[in-house]
Amino acid sequence: MSLAENKKLLLGCHVSMNKPGKYLLGSLQEALDCGANTFMIFTGAPQNTRRTPVEELNISEFREKMTENNIDINDLIVHGPYTINLANSLKPETFEFGVRLLKEEINRVEAIGIKTLVLHPGSSLGAPIEQALNQLVKGLNEVIKPGQNVKIALETMAGKGNEVGTKFEDFKYIIDRLKYPEFVGVCFDTCHLNDAGYNVKNDFNSVIEEFDKIVGLDKLLAVHLNDSLNESGSRKDRHANIGYGKIGFDSLLSITENPRLQGIPIVLETPWVNDQNPYKTEIAMLKEKKFKDNFPELNNEK
């Protein structure tokens, strides 16, 4: 039996988690309303450290509702705060803040019961790339404990500014130097890969093959499925809605259908359109395997 026959397509989106929606219960309902069978959340505002106590997140009810709706909690993703920069070797206080916050975030994710935490590798702030990568390794080694239930998925980045994690070689360098490499993997972002120069549009199979050769496909824990407003190699990082960017609908559809990605959570992070969530429409298009011009106002951005 092939991998595609053995595992199902996990397709979902980034959803909110807030008090009016009863936190995790609202997140689940939003995902279901979009036709998703996986989803990604922040456990709090991504730009600050304010966090609702886990006791108030309705975890038990959430797990019950997940079971009722045939969604496996192991297929969900949490995105770590943007404020964490473990690659920062120039400001010790900022690095230590990131270490403390990531430890707290792992505890929150474990309390919820989700297994995958996506994290931006961070910025070198102009320091030599090897110095930044070594600092990231140092931070991960301080954070990760043997026996933890959460894996960290370092996200592929577009290369704007001084971002690290723009090449597969970066991830190999990091993983090879960890005390507990079994707890760290990678999250593909199709927009970021495109903008970093990988041929996502025309030859995604070669991208997978290169990743498998350098890092290992077993390390691919999640995928962010986004179109890009910019050409390959632009190093810009501007997400576009599915079919309205330079990657295009057919190429992104083929990624969801790739047998080597079956069973790996694929989530949309595309921009809202006229203050409206686009995910229900985009997920439906991908399931139906046909592009529909549902957002004609976006055509002038293509």
Three-state SS letters, the chain: CCHHHHCCCCEEEECCCCHHHCCHHHHHHHHHHCCCCEEEECCCCCCCCCCCCHHHCCHHHHHHHHHHCCCCHHHCEEECCCCCCCCCCCCHHHHHHHHHHHHHHHHHHHHHCCCEEEECCCECCCCCHHHHHHHHHHHHHHHCCCCCCCEEEEECCCCCCCECCCCHHHHHHHHHCCCCHHHEEEEEEHHHHHHHCCCCCCCHHHHHHHHHHHCCHHHEEEEEECEECCCCCCCCCCEECCCCCCCCHHHHHHHHHCHHHCCCCEEECCCCECCECCHHHHHHHHHHCCCCCCCHHHHHHC
**Is 239 among the annotated ligand-binding positions?**
yes
**Is 120 among the annotated ligand-binding positions?**
yes
Tell me the chain's radius of gyration from C-alpha atoms.
18
Q: Which residues contact 244 (CB under 8 A, 6 or more apart)?
A: 227, 295, 298, 299, 301, 302
Give residue 207's Cα distance to chain centre.
Answer: 17
- Token digits of residue 136: 């990231």
Closest C-alpha to 129, from 93, 159, 91: 159
Q: How far is the C-alpha of 201 from the C-alpha of 54, rounded, in Å?
A: 41
**Is 14 among the annotated ligand-binding positions?**
no
Binding site, annotated residues: 79, 120, 155, 189, 192, 224, 237, 239, 269
Binding site, annotated residues for Zn(2+): 79, 120, 155, 189, 192, 224, 237, 239, 269
